[in-house]
Amino acid sequence: MTSNEIRRSFLEFFQKNGHRVVPSAPLVPGDDPTLLFTNAGMNQFKDLFLGREKRDYTRATTSQKVMRVSGKHNDLDNVGPSLRHHTFFEMLGNFSFGDYFKAEAIEFAWTMLTEVWKMPADRLVVSVFKGEHGIPRDTEAYDIWRKFVPAERIMELGSEDNFWQMGDTGPCGRCSEIYYVRGTGMDPEIEVWNNVFMEFERSADGTLAPLPAPSIDTGMGLERITAVLQRKDSNYDTDLFMPLLTRIGELAGATYGANPQTDISMRVVADHARATTFLIADGVIPSNEWRGYVLRKIMRRAMRHGKMLGLGEPFLHEMVAVLAREMGDAYPELRTNRD
Ligand code: GLY
């Protein structure tokens, strides 16, 4: 399956199961001063979780443009050496706003992975919250998972892994992750799905208050699931990155995969070219402050690594054509805002 087919099949599965397909929100959050950039699929639904807003649907599914370059979720320094981290990525998600809860969310995830995408069930390992910091063990999630997986494939982990929040404040809850055991490469186990059981709002003093209704927020990186489904050990070996890496190679006279040091620079350029293109398409302009400063930092980093690859002339703009061609169907702004 191509990444475009994987994205489409996810949205179609949830649409068939009563979810509204909602377009990705821009990378610049509308009216949330707590966020530098959209950092999760749930951001655009924050007020629905908090009960401050109602819409004409209680189930939604999205493929959300996400940046993780600051605050609670920051992967900037991993980009280059890592084969699974990105500054910009696409997060697939299904959401329930006081509609279904743990039992349905777990069953949806399991059906999507094992029946729609036909992943081998015996290669999937899951985790539940073990109980920590006064928040009890997630016995309910554990019991639901036992219907699908044997006890030895259910890990019990603490807040670091199994309690999710978008920032220091806001909706949050215990979560349950699904890992694929590929057994090879730099990441022999890779997290592919995060089911967040939204139950609390954290306030600035750290206290947790119950949400008006238990809700579901899931997140899965399209880049990781594409790597697994395309049987690659690295996100960068998928059709989401190879066209960029090939173009960088053409410009620099290099071949991706031939030299570990060069590969790091090629991955940085590919990742940062995506971030740059999607940010500018959403109206961010490089500058000396706030969001524009982060964009400028990312662009300068890409240019530095380009220089290390021997690229003496401006090259970053060359990546836009590749992205408009490969991703413009899913994100038309890449074409309309190309200039
Ligand atoms: N909001 C769920 C996640 O980002 O993993």
Lowest mean pLDDT among 65-74, 221-230, 329-338: 65-74
At 68 the pLDDT is 93
pLDDT tens readout for residues 64-119: 999 999 877 888 999 999 999 999 999 999 999 999 999 999 999 999 999 999 99
* pLDDT > 90? residue 47: yes
Q: What is the pTM of this model?
A: 0.95
The average confidence (pLDDT) of the chain is 96
Is the minimum distance from the CB of 45 to ligand 1 under 6 angstroms? no
At 50 the pLDDT is 95
At 112 the pLDDT is 98
What is the C-alpha to C-alpha distance for residues 27 and 91, in angstroms, rounded to an integer?
12
Ramachandran assignment for 191, one of left (phi > 0), alpha (psi -120 to 50 degrees), beta (any other):
beta
User: What are the backbone dihedrals phi and psi of residue 224, each rounded to the nearest 5 degrees, phi first?
Assistant: -75, -45
Whole-number Cα distances in Å, 31 to 72, 208, 211, 282: 19, 23, 21, 15
* pLDDT > 80? residue 246: yes
- List b or e across 208-217, with b for residues whose CB sees 16 or more CB atoms inside 10 angstroms: beebebbbbb
Helix (H) or strand (E) segment spanning residue 176: strand 170-181
Two structure tokens written together for 289? 């402050």
Is the minimum distance from the CB of 42 to ligand 1 under 6 angstroms? yes
How far does the centroid of ligand 1 lie from the alpha carbon of residue 172, in Å? 10
Is the minimum distance from the CB of 197 to ligand 1 under 6 angstroms? no
Is the minimum distance from the CB of 217 to ligand 1 under 6 angstroms? yes
- Averaged pLDDT for residues 219-242: 98
Two structure tokens written together for 6? 């994987």
Atom 3, ligand 1: which residue's CA is nearest? 219
Question: Any long-range contacts for 42-49 (C-beta under 8 Å, 24+ apart)?
Answer: 42/93, 42/95, 42/166, 42/171, 42/196, 42/198, 42/217, 42/219, 43/166, 45/95, 45/97, 45/217, 46/166, 46/170, 46/171, 48/97, 48/215, 49/97, 49/171, 49/198, 49/211, 49/215, 49/217
Report the Cα 117 to chain-centroid distance in Å: 18
Helix (H) or strand (E) segment spanning residue 218: strand 208-221
* pLDDT > 80? residue 168: yes
What is the C-alpha to C-alpha distance for residues 24 and 82, in angstroms, rounded to an integer?
26
Residues in the chain, overall count: 339
Task: Please enumerate in sequence order all residues whose Cβ is within 8 A of that of 7, keeping only pairs 6 or more positions apart, or say none.
Answer: 63, 90, 92, 222, 330
Is the minimum distance from the CB of 187 to ligand 1 under 6 angstroms? no
Atom of ligand 1 nearest to the CA of 91: 4
Task: Please enumerate in sequence order all residues whose Cβ is within 8 A of that of 281, keeping only pairs 6 or more positions apart, or say none.
Answer: 331, 333, 334, 337, 338
- Averaged pLDDT for residues 252-268: 97
Neighbours of 71 (CB within 10 A): 14
Q: What is the DSSP string of 8-40?
A: HHHHHHHHHTT-EE-PPPPSS-SS-TT-SS--S
Is the minimum distance from the CB of 92 to ligand 1 under 6 angstroms? no
pLDDT tens readout for residues 127-158: 999 999 999 999 999 999 999 999 999 999 99
Q: Residue 134 is which amino acid?
A: G
In degrees, to the nearest 5, what angle opens at C-alpha 264 toward C-alphas 260 and 194? 115
Two structure tokens written together for 137? 């063990």
Is the minimum distance from the CB of 164 to ligand 1 under 6 angstroms? yes
pLDDT tens readout for residues 182-222: 999 999 999 999 999 999 999 999 999 999 999 999 999 99
**Residue from 90, 101, 5 nearest 41 by CA:** 90
Atom 5, ligand 1: which residue's CA is nearest? 219
